[in-house]
Structure 1
């Protein structure tokens, strides 16, 4: 347990280091899926590792210590007490961060769906009479379908072919449930702050994924790049944090990517990255086995 319990933390750093390179070399759809799974597995493993570290404080429980003294036994100390106490504090911080992430996601989705109130449920496209050029893909919920919300100002700034790109882009977000990937990685980074850079990578990749789907739908990568550039230029106000945006800070990278051939589905790269998510889980499992052996020694 002395080593295995720390493996998830070390591999978190390695995963965030390789994630940007995966995004450059692997098709966005595959890279998004692989990095999201790896992030969730790693965050779960690191949280469980902290729970295991905190559980070693059972040695300090008065009944356990008293019984050991009476029996003349010396209790093992798998980790220093200061580390176990630090793990308890970290778990409290993680719980707070996850609560904030859940509350922010719920509040944002509720606000976005309120914008669609009064429209028939079978209406996918909603055009808002707003002078602010914006476009949103509003994810579906158990009580409301997914919608595309576009302002009249955004539509007015684009040519017909460019509008088709915009709608295809936002429709790709809904079709492939990109909000779930963004949400999963947001929770993973809340549980493990070391994964924050990976969250940014996945946010970029879901936009790239939608770009590629839009280019395929309209059959013209140049028009897609032009529409993306124009939408980014006319958009002026920030949107809610979790909205899947048509324009973002990485727009120049996305335009450059559309001017080249799409990245291939390279499982030769994706598979090792997925393994980086599995290895922390295996390390946590082995550490759990060690802790169970410890508890058996302490409590029997």
Structure 2
């Protein structure tokens, strides 16, 4: 049995705690990129590991035994059982991934169709429920309800629109899709969704603050928009799946980050920041390295087995 092949299946569970600290460890835009790349790397390595676990057991099956001499990698019954479980998990993950990708693609097409109905970047909906979100498309649109317009002052509306414009410009819906799909490949990667969602909103917050030139105004706009949405008795049900809203995520934490309030942990934060980033990147590197090492060992084992065949 190739023992290193199990490492990529375990490490995604350890990546979650490091990922939760990452948005506070890096600039928001960089944190979004690192989290997305980590999700891709860990998902790919774990999927590769499942495929590698199938091969040794497959060489013990009579139907394919004529292709290779069975590998001497443990008791045949145990190897076949592990391969069967790995194959079942691989089929399950593949099915979930294909269905998830198809579902997201259908939602994105619907969102683009809605965005194409308007010639203007800004779409105002006659709805008393306070809501605003970025609708991806070609080009994207910013949707705001009349309820949200009434809830904010003119400068606050400009900050809110700058936030949603940043979502469209940086194509944040693609990053959220990557992490969501990675979570379908390995359950441990679902823990990356919340940090990624927070990092995406923080990235848009910073872009909005830079656009309007006032961090306090941006923080006030986000806070008032979130309070207005929470105070409304209705529930937003018409927001498309790929849409990203400024009122999402931990709003108080985002507002505090914009205002730069006192931080009791500021003295130790540089060390924590480096440790969180290093831990997540180490998980990715170890997973990739372990998958490559396991594949190399399996390849060598197959060559040796074939060389011993009559």
- Report the TM-score range of the alignment, normalised by the length of the smaller protein: 0.7 to 0.9
Structure 2 residue ranges without an equivalent (≥5): 230-234
Matches for 1:181-200 after TM superposition, within 5 Å: 181-200=175-194
Offset at 1:99?
2.1
CA distance in 2, matches of 1:161, 1:74: 71
2:11 aligns with 11
Matches for 1:230-269 after TM superposition, within 5 Å: 230-235=224-229, 236-238=235-237, 239-260=239-260, 268=274
CA distance in 2, matches of 1:111, 1:233: 29
2:288 aligns with 281
2:104 aligns with 105
Matches for 1:131-146 after TM superposition, within 5 Å: 131-140=128-137, 144-146=138-140
Q: Which moved more, 1:233-242 or 1:17-26?
A: 233-242
Find 1:155's aligned residue among 149, 156, 162. Answer: 149
Q: TM-score with structure 2 length normalisation?
A: 0.84
Q: In structure 2, do the counterparts of structure 1 residues 114 and 179 end up closer, same or farther at CA, with 3 Å as the change threshold?
A: same
Partner SS for 1:60: coil
Contact 1:39-1:188 within 8 A present in 2 as well: yes
Q: Which moved more, 1:290-299 or 1:259-268?
A: 259-268
2:53 aligns with 53
CA distance in 1, matches of 2:123, 2:71: 66
1:290 aligns with 2:260: no
Partner SS for 1:119: coil
User: How many residues end up aligned between the 2 structures?
Assistant: 291
CA distance in 2, matches of 1:132, 1:112: 20
Q: In structure 2, do the counterparts of structure 1 residues 53 and 66 end up closer, same or farther at CA, with 3 Å as the change threshold?
A: same
What is the CA RMSD across the aligned residues, in angstroms? 2.6
Offset at 1:88?
0.9
Offset at 1:168?
0.7
Offset at 1:65?
4.6
Offset at 1:260?
1.1
CA distance in 2, matches of 1:174, 1:265: 31
Contact 1:132-1:154 within 8 A present in 2 as well: yes
1:40 aligns with 40
Q: Which runs of 4+ in 1 moved over 4 A?
A: 63-68, 261-269
